[in-house]
């Protein structure tokens, strides 16, 4: 599907800028476990977003520098700010392979040259810069993020498609380890069951929440309902019931860091039901020219 090419304004507040940065990082790095580092008021060692880039095989930290768009002098990152953040990032644990300073300001050749000079020095990591132009490119390449953060832009330009939005929301809901990773040893059985429940809720309400209960994205559920998606929800309900019963029957046992499935039959049933559910979603995604969710 071609990218939706639009000019996009940066988020109004820094919290949305950090959340957008995290979602872009997850998409580009293919890291489900990338996360925001700490909270406002806590020492963060110069890192707001942290994760692992599975393509470049790098541990990466990002510092987000939102600039006020209404005051021209303050909307540009400075070399001094870069140096300050680089020094702070040296204290981050675990050790970074790459440190990115992300800004809502415009691309600047002088700052890019400064970053190249830093990379010639004896730093423990590589330094990169990410300007708002880079964000726009990422958003145009990841339509699901456009629907999540800039739905009104698509609506204004008559590019909004309600069914496409719903399917992309479900693609995000299904694209998590609890649903697409073969079930052998997971971290927590309760997390697995909750992930299935959250996905069922996304199917029925068009509202997707993260692990902490915060709304990630929401849209209207198509009418009439999509039969394949309804059937996928039935498969997930069966998987949830099997997992819950297996926990009660001591066939799924939680240890300190993993859970153990003592019944190969239960593992096979859970894998089969999830595979069928993902397959039904992928059938609808294909019909609409959207990228499929990989299982296994």
Residue 149 belongs to a domain: no
Model pLDDT for residues 149-174, shown as the tens digit of each residue: 888 777 766 677 889 999 999 998 88
Q: Are 199 and 232 in contact (CB under 8 A)?
A: no
Report the C-alpha gap between 25 and 23 in whole angstroms: 5
Structural domain containing residue 263: 165-287
Asked if 95 and 177 sit in the same domain, the reply is: no
Asked if 129 and 44 sit in the same domain, the reply is: yes
Asked if 277 and 244 sit in the same domain, the reply is: yes
Q: What angle do CA 171, 150, 130 make, to 5 degrees?
A: 90
Band the pLDDT of 110: cuts 50, 70, 90.
very high
Asked if 213 and 134 sit in the same domain, the reply is: no
Asked if 277 and 170 sit in the same domain, the reply is: yes
> Residue 218, Cβ neighbours under 10 Å: how many?
15
Residue 169 belongs to a domain: yes
Asked if 169 and 132 sit in the same domain, the reply is: no
Reply yes or no: is the peptide bond before residue 94 cis, omega within 30 of 0: yes
Asked if 66 and 181 sit in the same domain, the reply is: no
Residue that is last in its domain, among 90, 106, 141: 141
Band the pLDDT of 117: cuts 50, 70, 90.
very high
Mean per-residue pLDDT, 257-274: 85
How many structural domains are present in the chain?
A: 2
Residue that is last in its domain, among 90, 125, 141: 141
Asked if 29 and 114 sit in the same domain, the reply is: yes
Residue 88 belongs to a domain: yes
The residue written with tokens 């002098």 in the block is 73
Residue that is last in its domain, among 141, 176, 191: 141
Lowest mean pLDDT among 6-20, 40-54, 278-292: 40-54
Model pLDDT for residues 202-237, shown as the tens digit of each residue: 999 988 887 777 778 888 899 899 999 999 999 999
In order, the DSSP letters of 185-224 are S-S-HHHHHHHHHHHHHHHHHSEEE-TTS-EEEE-PPPSS
Asked if 172 and 125 sit in the same domain, the reply is: no
Residue 109 belongs to a domain: yes
Question: Of 155 and 267, which is predicted with more confidence?
Answer: 267
Q: Are 139 and 8 in contact (CB under 8 A)?
A: yes
Give this prediction's pTM. Answer: 0.61
Asked if 76 and 180 sit in the same domain, the reply is: no
Residue 33 belongs to a domain: yes
Band the pLDDT of 72: cuts 50, 70, 90.
very low
């Amino acid at each position: 599907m071609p990218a939706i090419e639009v000019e996009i304004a940066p988020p109004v507040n820094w919290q949305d800028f950090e959340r957008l940065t995290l979602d872009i990082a997850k998409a580009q790095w293919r890291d489900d476990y990338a996360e925001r580092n700490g909270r406002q008021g806590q020492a963060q060692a110069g890192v707001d977003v942290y994760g692992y880039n599975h393509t470049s095989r790098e541990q990466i930290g990002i510092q987000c520098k939102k600039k006020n768009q209404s005051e021209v002098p303050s909307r540009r990152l400075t070399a001094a700010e870069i140096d300050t953040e680089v020094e702070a990032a040296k204290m981050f644990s675990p050790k970074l392979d790459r440190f990115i300073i992300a800004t809502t300001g415009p691309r600047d050749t002088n700052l890019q040259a400064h970053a190249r000079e830093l990379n010639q020095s004896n730093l423990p990591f590589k330094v990169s810069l990410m300007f708002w132009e880079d964000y726009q490119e990422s958003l145009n390449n990841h339509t699901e993020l456009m629907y999540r953060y800039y739905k009104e832009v698509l609506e204004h330009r008559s590019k909004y498609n309600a069914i496409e939005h719903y399917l992309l929301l479900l693609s995000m809901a299904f694209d998590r380890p609890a649903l697409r990773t073969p079930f052998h040893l997971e971290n927590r059985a309760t997390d697995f069951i909750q992930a299935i429940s959250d996905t069922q809720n996304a199917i029925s309400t068009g509202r997707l929440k993260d692990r902490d209960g915060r709304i990630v994205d929401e849209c209207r559920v198509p009418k009439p309902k999509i039969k394949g998606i309804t059937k996928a929800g039935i498969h997930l309900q069966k998987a949830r019931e099997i997992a819950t019963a297996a926990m009660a029957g001591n066939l799924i046992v939680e240890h300190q860091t993993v859970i153990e499935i003592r019944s190969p039959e239960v593992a096979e049933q859970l894998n089969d039901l999830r595979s069928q559910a993902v397959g039904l979603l992928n059938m609808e995604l294909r019909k609409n020219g959207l990228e499929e969710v990989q299982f296994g």
